Amino acid sequence: MRPPLSTLGMVHTAISLLPLAAGLVAFARHRRIEPGTRSGRAYLVGLVLSVLTAFGLSSTGGFNAGHALGILALLAMAGAMLAPRLGFLGRARTYLATFGLSFTFFLLLVPGINETLTRLPAGQPLASGPESPLVKTTLLAWVVIFLAGSVLQALALRAGRRREVRNPS
C-alpha cells in the first residue's frame, strides 16, 4: 500500500485538476487547446503550476520519470507557443502548435493515470504500481486515444484551411 498523500501532494493533486478540467473544456469547445481562450489560458497556467508543484514530490527521493515528463511538457508548451511565430514553418505552424499543446495534455495524464490507479479507491487501489497490467493497459489505451485525437485534430485543421481557401474573407 502506498503512503498517504503529503500536504504538498494534496495541493499538487488539487492544482492538477485545473489543467485537466480546462483541457477537457478546450477540447470540447474548440477541438484543441487555444491559448487565446479562457479555457486555454486556464490550461496553460494550470499546466505550469502542476509541473512546478510536482518537483517537490518524489516517491524515490529524487528526480524521477514524472519530473522528466513535466519538463518535457513545459518544453512542448514553449515550442507550441513559439511555433505560430516562426514564419519559416509555413502551414505547419498551426499543426505544430495544436499538436504540441495536445501533447502536453497527454503527458500530464501519464503520471496521473498511474497515481490514480495505484491510490484509488483508498485502502484497496485498483493497481499495485506502474508495472501493473491495469496501469500498462490504461496507458496503452491513452496512447491510442492521443494518436487518434491528433489525427482528428489535423483533419479538422486541414478542413478549416480548405474552407478558408474556398471562402476567403
What is the pLDDT, as a whole number, of residue 125?
A: 94
Residues in the chain: 169
What is the pLDDT, as a whole number, of residue 169?
A: 62
How far is it, in rounded angstroms, from Cα 70 to Cα 67? 5
What is the pLDDT, as a whole number, of residue 57?
A: 85
Residue with cell 503550476: 49
What is the pLDDT, as a whole number, of residue 64?
A: 86
What is the pLDDT, as a whole number, of residue 40?
A: 98
What is the pLDDT, as a whole number, of residue 15?
A: 96
List all residues 6 or more positions away from 10 whose beta carbon is below 8 Å from its beta carbon: none
What is the pLDDT, as a whole number, of residue 166?
A: 73
How far is it, in rounded angstroms, from Cα 125 to Cα 1? 8
How far is it, in rounded angstroms, from Cα 128 to Cα 121? 12
The pLDDT averaged over each successive group of 10 residues in the chain (169 residues) is 80 96 97 97 98 85 88 98 96 96 97 93 92 97 98 94 72
The conformation of residue 85, written as its DSSP 8-state character, comes to G
21: helix, coil or strand?
A: helix
What is the pLDDT, as a whole number, of residue 165?
A: 66
Q: Which of 86, 15, 19, 95 is nearest to 55 (CA)?
A: 15
| Sign of the alpha-carbon dihedral angle for 119, 121, 122, 127 | negative
What is the pLDDT, as a whole number, of residue 161?
A: 78
Question: CA 100, 102, 103 angle in degrees (round to 5)?
Answer: 60
Whether residue 94 contacts residue 157, with contact meaning beta carbons closer than 8 Å, is answered with yes
Q: Where are the alpha helices (DSSP H) in 88-132?
A: 92-119
Element (H, E) at 75: helix 65-82
What is the pLDDT, as a whole number, of residue 113?
A: 96
